[in-house]
Every structure is written in C-alpha cells, then in structure tokens.
Structure 1
Amino acid sequence: MASMATPAAAATAQRTAFGTLPDGEQVEAVTLTGENGVSVVLVTLGATIQAFNAPDRDGRMADITVGPDTLAGYLDQHNYWGQTIGRYANRIATGSFELDGRTVHLTQNDGTNSLHGGTEGFDKRNWTIASVSSDDGKASVVMTLRSPDGDQGYPGNLDVQVAYSLDDSGSLIIDFTAQTDAPTVVNLTNHALFNLGGNGWPYGTYDQKLSVPASSYLPVDADLIPTGERRSVEGTVFDFREGRMLYDGLRGGSDDQIALGHGWDHNWVLDKGRTSQPQLAARVEHPLSGRVLEVLTTEPGIQFYSGNFLDGTLIGKGGQVYRMGDAIALEPQAFPDTPNQPAFGSARLNPGETYRHTMIYRVSTLDRKHDR
C-alpha cells in the first residue's frame, strides 16, 4: 500500500536481522534511506535488493520492486528476486567454454545451459557485511564473498565485493569488483524486478514506457542463446530508441524472436559501448504515477526481461500473486555467452587485474504535463 513520503533529516543506514538459515547462519538486512525519503532494503542472502521505496509525483511512497517479504520466501520460491548475479550473468551455452586450451564444465541449470552462475550461483550465497556507513549525503553498505576455485566449475579463487550507496538525489549506485588468483571469466549484475506502479499494481507493467539507446540487439535461438548476429532494431518491436509502451509488441508473435523468448528476454547492444563511467542504458516511465527509473552502466549491453516466466505460482510481498508482465528486469552486463563467442569481446579476468562494473538505479518523477 502506498504511503506519503516523510523526508529523512540526512542519509542513514540501519542494520537489522532478517532471519536465520536452516544451518543456523544469520541473514542480515541494511536499510539505506536518503534525505528525500527514498529507501532501499538490502539483504545479505544473495546481496539482494529486497525493497526499493520511491515517491510518485504527489509524494506517495511505494515499493517499486517485486519479490518475497520474508527469508522463507527467498528459500522456497527461487526466482532471482533482486539478487546479485555471478559468476556469470545470463546464459553460457552447453554449460561449458574453452579457457587456455582446456574445457571448463559448469553446472547446468537451464536445460543444458548454465544460467546466472549455475545451480548455486552468488544469488544463493549469504554474503558478509564488510562495512555500513552514512556520511557526505550518502548511505552505504559493502558486502563481500569468496567464491572458491571450482565453484560451479569456474576456475580460480574469486574475491567479490558489491558496494551499495544511496544518495540524496534518489540514485542507488552499485559498484561490483572482483579479483582472482587464476584466469577465469566474470560478469556481475543485479536482477531487480521492477514495477513502477508499485508492488501489486493491478495493470502489471503494460502501462509503462521503456526507452533503450540501442540500435541493435542480439537475436537468440530456441535455447535463448545469442546466435552471434547483431540485428538492427529498425522497424521491429525491439526498437525502444524513442520509447515504447510495454503493451506495444509484447504479444507480437509475428516476430519469431518474441515467440522464442515468450516476450522480450534479449540483450540490447548499447550504442555507448563499454565506458569508464556509467551512462544511460534504459529509462522506464509510468505516466500515471509519474515515477521514472533510469538505469546507467559502464557495461556494453543490457538484458531486458519482460517477466515472461512469472506464471501465477509465485506469491510475494503482501500476498501478491505474480503473473506474466507484473515486473520487468533491466540487467546491465557483458553479452550473454561471451566466453563462447569471441566476436562479443572478452569476459576474461586474470590474476593481478580487477574486474569493475558500476551501475546505477536512479528514481525521479515526471511533471504533470506527462499525464496521459
């Protein structure tokens, strides 16, 4: 249920208990709150965005993410609810790739593919809180994880850090870093599922408008693995350059790519490419509430997933039943299956190097002139 925003005096960070795992390990939560009242709840299980509370144009607050509201929900209904994804976000074909002349075999959890890090990816790990702070108009929490050599088949001991910082303008900055002691591949992102109408919004996301500054995307095969082609969005339902309402094209079965993905579940090739500083990768507007979400990244691609596999069997916050299109994910990342497709670049990380990815979820509101 929506509530009126109550601006905080300054950015704050509050650390609390969230629950206990079956083995007795404690799961913690940290709530970051900005001066404008925007708040984010972050949970150590999966280094997860559990809630993201943002105002509409009249100051009414709502949680714009969907997912469980209890630890039991995360354990019983696995669905990548706002978790940190790794070691490799998205799909790796056949769960294998070549590295320095040997075949690396990964756990397969998406048919024969390895998806989002495999059977026990980073989303299922209980991360360690390294620090919690609030100063200089920003509230932050840093979480760390050690992924041992051979974890899900990946080589090298990998030390991973994710830093979440909420500033007073409504930007949640996410900094991923990782270091390895042996050559490996890394591709980290967050998998928050958003609905700018708020959790439980009765129209799903169909009344929301998405813009993506990308002139091409990566078509997929029947296993949702990129074919290697970079296809122009011109004249297709994959063209979001000028903004597109999400009801426009989602059921466009005349496009074989929509049929294969059961909607949109593809990676867009951002016109900006890989950048040293985060730049705009996607913008979502909800004309009725006025809420806006912008996604910025340093990575060259963004996966847009239109909630195609929400099938009514998953029950989340407030007892809401989630169905197809009730939420969308916008996941900045290196391209799917890059370890098997050299034309996509490289996801390799060597000893002595540091993997870095900075992404931002930034919320704001539209003026009333944007009412529909």
Structure 2
Amino acid sequence: MRILLTALSLMLCLSACREEKKKEVESQQMTALKTSISPEDFEGVVEGDSIKLYVLSNKNGLEVTFTNFGQRLVSLHVPDKFGNFEDVVLGYGTLDQFVNGPKSYWGSIIGRYGNRIAKGRFKIGENSYELVKNNNDNHLHGGDKGFESVVWKVENATTNRIDFSRVSPDMEEGYPGNLSVKVSYTLTDDNELKISYKASTDKTTVVNLTHHSFFNLKGEGNGDINDHILMINADSYTPVDSGLIPTGEIAMVTGTPFDFTIPKAIGKDIDADFDQLKIGNGYDHNFVLNDSPKNAEGLVLCAKVVEPASGRTMEVYTDEPGVQFYGGNFMGGKTIGKSGKPYVFRGSFCLETQHFPDSPNQADFPSTLLQPGEVYTSNCVYKFGVVED
C-alpha cells in the first residue's frame, strides 16, 4: 500500500513539474516576443468561436503575429540596416478594437471581392446579383461584413506557417455559391512572407481575394511615407471615375505622375496638376502589371519599396494581373495605433495584389469568374531586406 502511495505521489509530482515547466517555457516565449502586443489582449470569443494570437518567426529574427478574427496580420517586425527591429504594419493592439471599434481593414484578408464593384451589382449569364452598397453607391471589399469581419478556422499552426479556412455561405453579402476558402501564410528563412490562396465553389460566382496590410517601413506611426522610394513594374494603369470605379480604359503611365517604372519617392509628384490624383486625393489606383521579370517560382516582380533612412526594403511578387497602390490618402491623424501614435495623413502605403476592380462589369478586364469544379488560386510574396552599402 505504501509503495502504491509513493508511486502515486511521484506521478503527481512529475505531472506538476511538467505543467510548471510548460508554463515557464510559454512565459519565456512570450517574454521573447518582439511585439509589445499582449497575447492575452487577443484572447476572446466572437460569435461563439475562440480567438487568439498566433506567432510566426524565422532564424533571422523576423516575427509576424496573426489573429483568426478577420485573418489579420497584427504585427510584423523586420530589421533595418543596423539590425534594429521595428513593427512595419499599422493596426490596433487589442482584439476589442478590431471587433467593436470603427470598421477597418488593417492587416486583413479581403473578400469575397477585393476593391470596388460599381453600383453593387453584376450579372452572371442571365442572373443578376445585388450586393451590399457600403462605399457610397458602390460595393467595396466584400460588403458590410466581409472576410475581414468574420472568424476563421486555424487548420494548422507551426513556428513558421499558419493555415486558415472558412466556407462563405451562398448569398453571403449577395454573392452566389458556397465558397470554400483556404489561405496559407509561410515565413521563410529568406525573409519572405508567402501568401497562398485557394477557393472552390458549388455555383458560378466571382472571386478576387487580397491582403490589406498598411505598411510604413520607418515603423508604424513614424510619420508619412512620402519619402519611401517606390518602383511599380507596370507600364499602364486603370483610370477611375469620381467614385473610384475604373472607366474601362487601360492608360499608359509614361509622362504621368503614375510612372513608377523608374524608382522615385512616393511624394515626388503627389501634388501634380493631374485629374486622377485629384479624384483619388492621391494614389488609389490599380496598376496593370508587366509579365516579367519573374522569380524562381514564376511570380512576377510587382513592386519594390525602399525606406532611405532605415535602409529597409520590401519586394512584392505575384501571379495576379494587377496591384492596387494606395498611399494613405484618407488617413487624418484621428486613429491612434497600437504604439500610441496617431496615424497621420499618408502615413502608410498598401500594395494589394489582385484582379482589376469592377471586373465583373468590365468585359475587357481579366475574368474573375469561378465555376464549380475549378480551383481559384492566387499567390503573393512580401520579401524584406535592407539596402546594400
């Protein structure tokens, strides 16, 4: 009897020690995080589903955090040329701000359709579909409750990869078909954040998924981005009307402020007397990407950004035909970010790889139709580095 009690006591002791060691390791991991965001501030329940913070890292010290609410990239720490790490994406520091604060797209997935659809309607064959109008008279970024405002299932989470999935039900926000979506994020030791999208449907529908991080390579909240040097690998772009809907024209960038084929400061031509800049209050346009050069995986170099003071660089690669370049024109300093700093006018830029806005209503644009039995795929890579002295 005494032997049994001793054995039981030993087992209980070992179990308690293991639990204590686990807590100690978890505490050390939390302490080691570069982000100042508290993981506890992203724990919660939304519409019956559990939410938490997930962390990816690589051997070079890059760190990315995600929440499964809206599949949002919450923080992204990358080094400058001196080895100093900064968080280079804008956003909030708590789950509550994302769920209950003003509607935002900070770091989120966008779907079912990234960008605008004119008048909130389109046709597939003889069938007409009415979407939610949430951008004046138009439909924007999936509607009132797009993919940024729902909970995603985490299928897999490792130290350098996370997989999200969800089924968007038939007629959600007006879109036909049950759409099964899977998105994978992988942080490589080459300092690449790879995003891979897949989707399938049981009814003909339209799909255009993208990622909506707002970048500032100086660090989030550290002033505007007008001095960032930008190259966009596009000889043409799609001009817009007063509602930021493409007119249908594909215009050459040569001789206009939209020519970023040779790298230049984002703010260099921002005040030029040019109608398209006045309409968008700056840059908020889709660029038609060239089809070369490509990386080893066959993805086209879409853009490159350099922040001169820190030396941080970001390259974007994709297999999409376009990219939406947005220069923070509707930011005004009222939003206070996760570090306590106001997000000033033109305090970030977005490079959203995509099909073109309003493609369902533009016969000459690349199609965004997805048929049953087909698989929608899209790939985007954000690669970080520093300038070589």
State the one-letter code of the partner of 1:266.
Answer: H
Of residues 307, 332, 349, the one that matches 1:286 is 307
Partner in structure 2 of residue 257 of structure 1: 276
Of residues 149, 166, 171, the one that matches 2:170 is 149
State the one-letter code of the partner of 1:258.
Answer: L
Counterpart-to-counterpart distance in 1, 2:270 and 2:121: 32
Alignment of 1:1-372 (within 5 A): 18-21=42-45, 23=47, 25-75=49-99, 76-134=101-159, 139-202=160-223, 204-252=224-272, 254-272=273-291, 277-368=298-389
Counterpart-to-counterpart distance in 1, 2:46 and 2:324: 33
Q: Give TM-score, length-normalised by structure 2.
A: 0.87
| TM-fit CA distance, 1:238 | 0.2
Deviations 1:311-340 (A, max 9, x none): 222111111111211001100000000000
Counterpart-to-counterpart distance in 1, 2:165 and 2:292: 28
Question: Is the 8 Å Cα contact of residues 281 and 296 (structure 1) preserved in structure 2?
Answer: yes
Change (3 A) 1:17 1:200: closer
Larger radius of gyration: 2
Change (3 A) 1:89 1:273: farther
Deviations 1:281-309 (A, max 9, x none): 11100111000011111100000000111
Moved more, 23-32 or 285-294: 23-32
**SS of the residue aligned with 2:334?**
strand
| TM-fit CA distance, 1:22 | 5.5
Deviations 1:2-50 (A, max 9, x none): xxxxxx9xxxxxx987232464532122110000001111110111111
Question: Is the 8 Å Cα contact of residues 56 and 158 (structure 2) preserved in structure 1?
Answer: no
Question: Is the 8 Å Cα contact of residues 274 and 298 (structure 1) preserved in structure 2?
Answer: no
Moved more, 44-53 or 313-322: 313-322
**SS of the residue aligned with 1:322?**
coil
Question: Is the 8 Å Cα contact of residues 292 and 365 (structure 1) preserved in structure 2?
Answer: yes
Counterpart-to-counterpart distance in 2, 1:358 and 1:257: 29
Per residue, is there more strand in 1 or in 2?
1
Question: Is the 8 Å Cα contact of residues 221 and 337 (structure 2) preserved in structure 1?
Answer: no
Question: Is the 8 Å Cα contact of residues 292 and 301 (structure 2) preserved in structure 1?
Answer: no
Counterpart-to-counterpart distance in 1, 2:105 and 2:276: 23
Moved over 3 A (4+): 21-25, 273-277
State the one-letter code of the partner of 1:347.
Answer: T
Counterpart-to-counterpart distance in 2, 1:266 and 1:220: 8
Partner in structure 1 of residue 24 of structure 2: none
Question: Is the 8 Å Cα contact of residues 17 and 27 (structure 1) preserved in structure 2?
Answer: no
Q: Give TM-score, length-normalised by structure 1.
A: 0.91
- Segments of 5+ residues of structure 2 without an aligned counterpart are 1-31, 33-38
- Segments of 5+ residues of structure 1 without an aligned counterpart are 1-7, 9-14
Instruction: Indicate the RMSD between aligned Cα atoms, in angstroms.
Output: 1.7
Deviations 1:147-190 (A, max 9, x none): 00000000000010110000111100000000100000000000
